[in-house]
Copies of this chain bind each other. A is one copy, B any other.
């Protein structure tokens, strides 16, 4: 496989690859293959044998779980530089979730055993993976706590703030969350219904906090979202914007 840094130099900073020397990087890339997905394609589905491990190079994927009775839950979105399906490197298991591309997406994939062998030889790689997984556990713990203790409006506010971190782009008039998101998906991220999300967003729109257009959300007053998420009194924030 050709070195992908020429085309995607930011990849060198991915948490997975950070700090690795060139020799190791070359061997890592030699062991992997690139894969390409169209928007809507499924990379792997929940329940399939977990064969391959991936690094996102470009694009975006949605990782979700379905319940026994068909309800969906969005676990997270995956953006360039992030990894998925580490479970494949740990032997004979099934993918615990489904990964679908939400836009044209490029990945590097490794066979589970191949990646396991790399980690078993190169301690630096394992440390990087440990670091990534630790961050992810913390994030899941936070979301768990939110879901257990906070009301819907607050959870949606937090959901949007998280999306800003992952896919926020400064534009005139605010920060654009640069991905198509239905009310249904927002609901699946925050553990509520599409109806509640709709009501909340229309309220926020009349309050001037957000503007939505073509399934894209423009956050006009992030500080007010923070105020809602943290339950701060609005007026504490009006002067420091």
Known: A123-B119, A123-B120. A86 touches B148 (CB 8 A): no
Mask for A131-175, Cβ within 8 A of B = 1, else 0? Answer: 101101110111111011110000000000000000000000000
A193 vs chain B, min Cβ distance (A): 11
Report Cα–Cα, A131/B103, bound state, in Å: 30
Copies in the complex: 2
Chain B residues with CB below 8 A from A116, complex form: 127
Report Cα–Cα, A142/B67, bound state, in Å: 10
Q: How large is the interface on A (under 10, 10 to 19, 20 to 34, 35 or more residues)?
A: 35 or more
Chain B residues with CB below 8 A from A144, complex form: 73, 75, 140, 143-144, 147, 191
Chain B residues with CB below 8 A from A142, complex form: 65, 96
Cβ of A69 within 8 Å of any chain B Cβ, yes or no, is yes
Cβ of A87 within 8 Å of any chain B Cβ, yes or no, is yes
Give 20 pairs: A residue, B residue, CB < 8 Å, sorted on A. A65-B141, A69-B231, A71-B149, A73-B148, A75-B141, A87-B134, A90-B131, A96-B142, A120-B123, A120-B124, A121-B123, A123-B125, A126-B129, A126-B130, A133-B134, A133-B137, A137-B137, A140-B144, A143-B144, A148-B191
New A-B pairs, 9, CB < 8 Å, besides A71-B149, A90-B130: A67-B150, A68-B231, A73-B145, A73-B149, A86-B134, A90-B131, A96-B141, A133-B134, A140-B140
